[in-house]
Amino acid sequence: MTVPNDKDSTSRYDGNERRTRPHLRDVFEEAYRIAFPLLDSKEIDHTAGQTHFLRMVLHDTFPGLHLQDVAILSVSIERVFRERSKTEAR
């Protein structure tokens, strides 16, 4: 799987993008779909080990991403999962 780089992604946006890594937005939804079963599992304890496992899965799925990008993507996915879970619980 190829991952777009910063330059490719920036050219698709009008230059007003405030984020410095827009290529992560390009893969976010796919990465979220992959991560959702891991985050939603009642069997996995929500610990640092889960975060490490999530990063390993993301790195294996998107090998073209830098490790820092994998970490940023992982944190973003976990945050969105928590927010969406709060919304669904209401």
Residue 73 lies in a domain: yes
67 belongs to a structural domain: yes
In a domain, 77, yes or no: yes
23: amino acid identity, one letter:
H
What is this structure's pTM? 0.71
What's the total number of domains in the chain? 1
Owning domain of residue 65? 47-90
Distances (CA, A) of 61 to 1, 23, 49, 56: 8, 15, 18, 9
- Look at residue 10 and tell me if it is in a domain: no
Distance CA 33, CA 6 (A): 22
Euclidean distance between CA atoms 40 and 54, whole angstroms? 12
pLDDT, greater one: 8 or 75:
75
In a domain, 14, yes or no: no
What's the pLDDT tens digit per position in 22-60?
889 999 999 999 999 988 876 666 666 788 899 999 999
Which has the closest alpha carbon to 34: 67, 1, 83, 68? 1
Phi, psi (5° rounding) for residue 45?
-75, 135
